[in-house]
Amino acid sequence: MATIGMSVDISALVEATIAEDGREVIAIARELLRSGAPAAELAARVGLIVAHGDSDGHAILTLDAAAALSRWMIAVPAPPEGDPNSHVQELPLLVQALLATAPALRDGEKAAVTYPDPLFPSELGEGKTVDDAMHAAVYSNDATRVERLLFGLYGTGADYRTMEVRTYDGISTTFQNAGHPLM
């Protein structure tokens, strides 16, 4: 499956969403979807900004749900005259999610972002594993240590699946803070 990566400019979509201009969001999103950008990837890219302004995780979950549902739209038959590369049938899911998360996007756009230094697996000490350290960080609600561990894995060249597994292993047996993520 081809992805849009960083090649699509979403700045107009972000600005229209921040302004909560529904008509403009619809027009810009429709054009991006028609040109082949999947709603799931647009939502994910907006989500990277939203994450910095989403203190409880609800906005991120909204974008996640819209992205997941939009991937199911492939099961809906496209009109015969439609462009096979178009994702315009995903428009309602994307627009509703964007407008619902506009306040968090606005806050995320203004947030000063700082990242902690990575904690590499080799720095954990003899007999310590990333799984154990991640589990301990999640149980102690230490979001900074979770970030440091993930950045350390990334710095070793680990792919995203390794990082997802380590994160899942850390949270799979508990719902800390009433199920809210470490944010």
Instruction: Report pLDDT digits (tens) over 47-91.
Output: 999 999 988 889 999 999 999 999 998 888 877 887 888 899 999
- For residues 8 and 32, the model is more confident at 32
Reported residue count of the chain is: 183
- For residues 27 and 140, the model is more confident at 27
Q: Give the contacts of 123 (CB within 8 A, at least 6 positions apart).
A: 152
- Most confident of the following: 94-108, 130-144, 157-171: 94-108
> What's the token pair of residue 53?
């302004």
Burial class (CB in 10 A: 0-12, 13-18, 19+), 21: middle
> What's the token pair of residue 126?
């003899």
Q: What is the pLDDT, as a whole number, of residue 105? A: 97
- State the average pLDDT over residues 36-56: 92
Query: Taking a C-beta distance cutoff of 8 angstroms, is the pair 163, 154 a contact?
Result: yes
Whether residue 1 has pLDDT greater than 60: no
Q: What is the 3-state secondary structure (H, E, C) of 101-127?
A: CHHHHHHHHHCCCCCCCCCCHHHCCCC
74 three-state secondary structure: helix
**Would you place residue 175 in the very low, low, confident or very high pLDDT band (cuts 50, 70, 90)?**
low
Whether residue 32 has pLDDT greater than 90: yes
| DSSP summary character for residue 156 | T
Q: What is the pLDDT, as a whole number, of residue 157? A: 83
Distance CA 13, CA 62 (A): 17
Instruction: Report pLDDT digits (tens) over 50-62.
Output: 999 988 889 999 9
**% of the chain at pLDDT higher than 70:** 87
| Domain spans of the chain, in order of start | 11-110, 121-179
